[in-house]
Amino acid sequence: MKVKVLSRNPDDYVRETKLDIQRVPRNYDPSLHPFEVSREYTRALNATKLERVFAKPFLASLDGHRDGVNCMAKHTTNLSTLFSGSCDGEVKVWNLTKHECVRTLQAHEGFVRGMVVRHCGTSFFTVGDDKTIKQWKMEAPAYGEEEEPLNTILGKTVFTGLDHHRKEGVFATCGQQVDVWDEQRSSPIRSFTWGVDSFSAVRFNPVETELLASCASDRSIVLYDMREPAPLKKVIMTMRSNTVCWNPMEAYYFTCSNEDYNLYTYDMRYLDRPITVHMDHVSAVLDVDYSPTGKEFVSASFDKTIRIFPKDGGHSREVYHTKRMQHVICIKWSADNKYILSGSDEMNIRLWKANAAEKLGVLAPRERQATNYNQKLKEKYQHHPQIRRIAHHRHLPRNIYHQTKEQRVMKEARRRKERNVRKHSKPGTVPVVSEKEKHVVTVVK
Amino acid sequence: MAKVSKKKVSKKSLRKSSTVTEETAEVRPDVVYDEDDDEDISKDDENISSEEEEDGGDDERKRQKLLEAISALGGKRQKKLGERSEAAVHMSEFTVNAEGEGDKVDLSDLIGTLEKTSAVPARTKKQLKNLQRTNKTIECPLSKQESERIQRDVAFQKASTEVTRWKDIIKQNQRAEQLVFPLDKEPTGPRPMERIVNGWKAQTPLEQEIFALLSANKQPINDPILTPAEEASMRAMSLEEAKIRRAELQKARALQSYYEAKTRRERKIKSKKYHKVQNKAKRKEFLKKFDEMVKTDPAAALEELNKIELGRMQERMSLKHQNSGKWAKSKVIMAKYDEGARKAMQQQLEVNKDLTQKLVTSLDKEEEEEMEAVDEEVLPDFVNDAEQGLDSSNPWMKGKLSVDPAEKVLSDNVDVTTEGPGAVGNPAEEEEGEEEVVETEEETLLREFDSRRKQRQAHEADAAPALSVGPEESTAEEPEASDPEEEELSQFTSLFRGIADSCREADAEMAEAAADSSHTDPSAQLEEGLVRIRALEDMELLSQQESASDGAPVVPPATENLPSVTPPADKTRKRKRGIELKEVLTKETKVIKVPLVPTMEDTEDSEEKLDQRGLIKEAFAGDDVVSDFLKDKRRQEDAAKPQVVDLTLPGWGEWGGTNLKPSRNRRRRFRIKAAPPPPRRDQCLPSVIMSEKRNSSIALHQVNSLPFPFQTHAQFESSIRAPLGRTWNTEQTVRKISKPKVVTQLGAIIQPMSREELMKDKKHVSAGSRSSVDSWKRKR
């Protein structure tokens, strides 16, 4: 008697190695899958929820300074090294992987105002309130050797900022004027003044390396070309800008952090209005730094928070705060686009994840695929109210929350008043001024 | 030169004088100025007579000094300034001398002696002379601020142009699907052979020998695909081909130029008749072609049809033939006084009507099919077509005119005034008046017919043979249509012509109707005003009467005509007209009077507003909104009703087979009637459709406004509909879809963009073009 049995060929369903994906015969005919949208929606919702669950951005706090951290510098060739200068003139070198200080030196008397690592990473410069520029060796002094700067330049006035050229041995300082120095000389090769008595920050353009931008105390941002004897242009705003940062991937964009709680992204060719106004902070913005991909930037504010903005977004995508963090004075985005470092008033340097919910370390391929898929799902369903609600929810300290609310009310009131004035005056006499134009006073050629 | 020399002189003199004063300082300490003077005087010829002078002047000076000393003794001392005369008078060393006291030293004074000195080259002399002739002064230099500003401006321009070079790369990166950082990372994986070979050098003697051999025999070393010889042959071939191509191009260009010249000449001909004839010929040609095309290439024919439809739409959109143009406005102003202007205006409106008439309406379809069923057996389908053509005069229009109750009343009122003369005599002249329009109409109609026939033929294949009713109308029209001259033509052509004629007839009728409506239409604008303003001023009424009276010798309004035409048609074949509102309407539509602000404004405003309203009315004359709305509502109501679910299975519990139906009892048992839905919310609201689909529990999860980057709802919906997961997509697709936008490498420093990127980009472009050229070559 012949017995018929069901038989299957194992080649059809057994995978060759255990690393392979399980072979699942599938029919992709869309008519067989009527609930694809709802299923994906559920997945997206879950992914969003999980993202919020896993969003733990704070990694470590580096303590050791005996005064507020006033400035920081990234190492140009080494990811794990960080330099920080405090208000008592002390400079510390940190090892980020070990979360420890590897070297401490008393660099200046008074504040350390600025710090920058040479483009090749062999030495670093500091400027301080004692009117000196000092160049230090990268290596710690050997046993018994004294900690001494390689080079000291005595200036006539206090220096408030410092930046180094990306390719050459040239650096720029600012104080009463913007000076460009050759490393080999003790006097500046160029110095720019333009009717302003003090500057708060100067930055080299990392792409077009000969260009500089500086923030002056007369509420202006001034552009320079190192090769030209005169400055290029300046834009005067309603309030003073504290720092400025160039986009490292897009040569003509820069962002400045302003006292009026906003950040402004400018195209250096068209200074008459900013490209984007980034709002969300509720107090003066003290520092800004671009991510090395040039897609986002992070800002530090007097309101004790750190916010991350997309470069073309008007509002922040993320806000970081902790109970103990006071006014954040300086901020850096690490060169591998993964971390953010903030130095604040209460003597601590904090290490954050740039992407709050990201899993650190090496991902297995399937894990990576899953995260990619989830990311896309979140993107796809981002406009759905439930998902939006979850994805956009952030906890804020009470006072910041209330301040935000207050700001909103004030803004609304101002808007209403303007509208009323317009309504009750002759048509055309009260023009509509856009938010972008509102903050620029004039452009000086 | 002159100045310089003068300066030198004065300097010299100064120096000398100073030395002299030093010498004589002890002797005469008091009289400083005089002394200077003396020195000045003396220095002219000091070489010759300095000593003598000193001797001579000494006595006098002593005396003077004595006198002064005496005077100083008495009382206060009066310091008397010595006289001072102009030094320049005496400076004549190089014959540099200005005439008179106030004169300046001129260039001529300086170069006076130049003529005589032969040592000076002639060229210099000439230059100096030229210089003398031109008495322009050099502009004074800019102030420091201004010059700085200019400097800054120039520098800024330079910097901004320099920066702008990055624009392409920035744009490219912004648009990129995926960016992988660090940017300058070398791509992993196998590199192309050429690059490896390029970087590599022959080192060992054996290798060197091999390479020497290869290069000696002209074998490829780097690019192993083509030998030089092959490339050379390729090049030769390409030259030949290039020549051929060039010749072709030349020919084409020449032909084109001839053609252009011809058309230009033709276009310049001013004779209207010529153009008329030409157009006619063209149309005929086109008709023939179109017929062919319908048979051979239906897609193209359809496209033509679409083009016509598009033309119609454009006409409708553009308001070209309405009363908004400059010409029309001027005519409107004149129309009160000038009969001709009025007529011209009317004509234009007619043109507009004709152009904007819709040819195909989806609503006709059922009746069409019915009609086919009627006609197909007896006649060739052209006839049907013609018939259809007759029917296709805008049903919307008809419906509207016949239905709108308020309007009807009014139009009746108007009719009383206008009815009577010239109802019959018009068509001919009407036709003549707008021959062109009619003819184009005819063309479009024909095209439409043909395309419809195509569709119908497809339908007929599966449509069952049905009712056979005598096609009276078409047959009746046939004989009258055929002209004597065309009788000798074949039956086909005659039929065709007949159709054409009949359709022309139809057009004429239509035109007539259009004329009527266009005549009544302005009044309709006003009528509208009247309806609304019935209780208001008489101004509108007055104007309306005017318009009614001035269009005296015109046909009776369409409202009269159309009902008289339609009833027999309804009798002969029982089919529905496009829309008979009375049939569609379940209850009387309430004419909702809107005693709102706009009407008040209307009464106050002048004609301008009215005009606009009239315009809008005109633009939407073809649409019947009310019935449309009602129909829509009814459709939605029907759709929302729960369906009866029939679960009977034939042959289950009974005998089954062909021609055996499950018993009634069984059917009743298995038919499930759903409970009636709750009453609709818009049940009592005649002018509102409220959707019952909204579900509040789902609405919580639904997007209620169109998110930013999307332009239309359809876009957004389609973006949502496309699934991303691997449940619905293949592995490859999933991988492609879920690529992250930015990829960074763990622990890699991302350097800022470097200038090399710019170079790379350029190189990439050039390399790309080169490679494309290569591939092109290889193909050949």
Residue A426 falls inside a structural domain: no
B163, B728, B738 member nearest A252 (Cβ): B163
Residue A429 falls inside a structural domain: no
Phi then psi dihedrals of residue A163, to 5 deg: -150, 155
Query: Which of A372, A375, A390, A392 should be substituted to probe chain B, the one whose Cβ sees the most B Cβ atoms within 10 Å?
Result: A372
With a pLDDT cut of 70, the percent of chain B lying above it is 49
Residue A68 falls inside a structural domain: yes
Q: Give me the mean pLDDT over the B584-594 stretch.
A: 45
Strands B179-181, B742-744: parallel, antiparallel or unpaired by DSSP? parallel
Tell me the pLDDT tens digit for each residue of A54-95: 999 999 999 999 999 999 999 999 999 999 999 999 999 999
Determine how many CB atoms are found less than 10 A away from the CB of residue A241: 27
Between chain A and chain B, the number of residue pairs with CB atoms below 8 A apart is: 154
- Residues 6 or more apart from A430 whose CB is under 8 A from it? A418, A421, A422
- Residues 6 or more apart from B311 whose CB is under 8 A from it? B355
Residue B532 CA to residue B596 CA, distance in Å, equals 10
Query: Which H or E element spans position B684?
Result: none
Residue B549 has pLDDT above 70, yes or no: no
- For residue A381, the distance in angstroms to the closest alpha carbon of chain B comes to 8
Please judge whether B724 and A373 are an interchain contact, meaning their C-beta atoms are less than 8 angstroms apart.
Answer: yes
Tell me the pLDDT tens digit for each residue of A329-339: 999 999 999 99
Averaged confidence pLDDT in chain B: 66
Owner of token pair 């020497």: B212
Residue B679 CA to residue A23 CA, distance in Å, equals 53
Confidence tier at B187 by pLDDT (50, 70, 90) = low
pLDDT for the residue numbered B196? 67
A294, A376, A384 member nearest B701 (Cβ): A384
Tell me the pLDDT tens digit for each residue of A195-239: 877 999 999 999 999 999 999 999 999 999 999 999 999 999 999
Residue B529 has pLDDT above 70, yes or no: no
Q: Give me the mean pLDDT over the B121-150 stretch.
A: 84
R_g over Cα of chain B: 52
Helices (H), B134-225: 144-164, 167-175, 193-199, 205-216
- Residues 6 or more apart from A296 whose CB is under 8 A from it? A290, A308, A309, A310, A311, A317, A354
Residue B404 has pLDDT above 90, yes or no: no
Residues B525, B530, B533, B537, CA torsion sign: positive
B728 is written with which tokens?
Answer: 């619905």
Tell me the pLDDT tens digit for each residue of A296-329: 999 999 999 999 999 999 999 999 999 999 999 9
Residue B660 CA to residue B668 CA, distance in Å, equals 16
ipTM for the complex shown: 0.92
Please judge whether B707 and A383 are an interchain contact, meaning their C-beta atoms are less than 8 angstroms apart.
Answer: yes
- Residues 6 or more apart from B509 whose CB is under 8 A from it? B390, B393, B427
Residue B444 has pLDDT above 90, yes or no: no
Residue B475 CA to residue B468 CA, distance in Å, equals 15
Residue A372 falls inside a structural domain: no
- For residue A444, the distance in angstroms to the closest alpha carbon of chain B comes to 9
Confidence tier at B480 by pLDDT (50, 70, 90) = very low
> Are B507 and B390 in contact, with CB atoms under 8 Å apart?
no
Tell me the pLDDT tens digit for each residue of B598-616: 434 444 445 555 678 778 7
Residue A406 falls inside a structural domain: no
- First-to-last alpha carbon distance for chain A, in angstroms, is 103
Cα B758 → chain centroid: 33
Confidence tier at B708 by pLDDT (50, 70, 90) = confident
Confidence tier at B344 by pLDDT (50, 70, 90) = confident
Q: Give me the mean pLDDT over the B204-214 stretch.
A: 87
Q: Which of A116-120, A186-190, B472-476 has the lowest mean pLDDT?
A: B472-476
A381: nearest CA partner in chain B: B720
- Residues 6 or more apart from B54 whose CB is under 8 A from it? none
Residue A237 falls inside a structural domain: yes
Confidence tier at B163 by pLDDT (50, 70, 90) = very high
Within 13 A of B206's CA, how many CA atoms are on the CB side?
Answer: 0
Please judge whether A77 and B749 are an interchain contact, meaning their C-beta atoms are less than 8 angstroms apart.
Answer: yes
Determine how many CB atoms are found less than 10 A away from the CB of residue A118: 18
Query: Pseudo-torsion of CA B183, B184, B185, B189, nearest 10°?
Result: 100
Phi then psi dihedrals of residue A174, to 5 deg: -135, 155
Contacts with A377 from chain B: Cβ below 8 Å: 724-725
Contacts with B160 from chain A: Cβ below 8 Å: 252, 268-269
Residue A316 falls inside a structural domain: yes
Q: Which of A422-426, B27-31, B189-193, B630-634 has the lowest mean pLDDT?
A: B27-31
Tell me the pLDDT tens digit for each residue of A393-418: 999 999 999 999 999 999 999 999 99
- Residues 6 or more apart from B627 whose CB is under 8 A from it? B399, B403, B579, B581, B584, B585
pLDDT for the residue numbered B71? 76
pLDDT for the residue numbered B216? 85
A268, A337, A362 member nearest B744 (Cβ): A337
> Are A126 and A114 in contact, with CB atoms under 8 Å apart?
yes
> Are B580 and B402 in contact, with CB atoms under 8 Å apart?
yes
Residue A308 CA to residue A298 CA, distance in Å, equals 4
pLDDT for the residue numbered B87? 55
pLDDT for the residue numbered B654? 84
Residue A180 has pLDDT above 90, yes or no: yes
The CATH number given to whatever domain includes residue A159 is 2.130.10.10
Instruction: Give me the helix-helix angle, B395-403 and B491-533, nearest 10°.
Output: 40
Residue A22 falls inside a structural domain: no
Q: Give me the mean pLDDT over the B232-243 stretch.
A: 77
With a pLDDT cut of 90, the percent of chain A lying above it is 88
pLDDT for the residue numbered A422? 94
Owner of token pair 């169109």: B706
- For residue A208, the distance in angstroms to the closest alpha carbon of chain B comes to 7
Residue B725 CA to residue A225 CA, distance in Å, equals 51
Residue A51 CA to residue A55 CA, distance in Å, equals 6
Residue A383 has pLDDT above 90, yes or no: yes
Confidence tier at A166 by pLDDT (50, 70, 90) = very high
Confidence tier at B623 by pLDDT (50, 70, 90) = confident
pLDDT for the residue numbered B183? 84
Query: How many domains is chain A partitioned into structurally?
Result: 1
Please judge whether B163 and A211 are an interchain contact, meaning their C-beta atoms are less than 8 angstroms apart.
Answer: yes
Contacts with A268 from chain B: Cβ below 8 Å: 159-160, 163
Classify A397 as helix, strand or coil: coil
pLDDT for the residue numbered B637? 87
pLDDT for the residue numbered B528? 40
Q: Which of A345-359, B1-15, B123-137 has the lowest mean pLDDT?
A: B1-15
Structural domain boundaries, residue A199: 58-353
Contacts with A375 from chain B: Cβ below 8 Å: 738, 740
Contacts with B734 from chain A: Cβ below 8 Å: 369, 373
Determine how many CB atoms are found less than 10 A away from the CB of residue B622: 17
> Are A352 and A320 in contact, with CB atoms under 8 Å apart?
yes
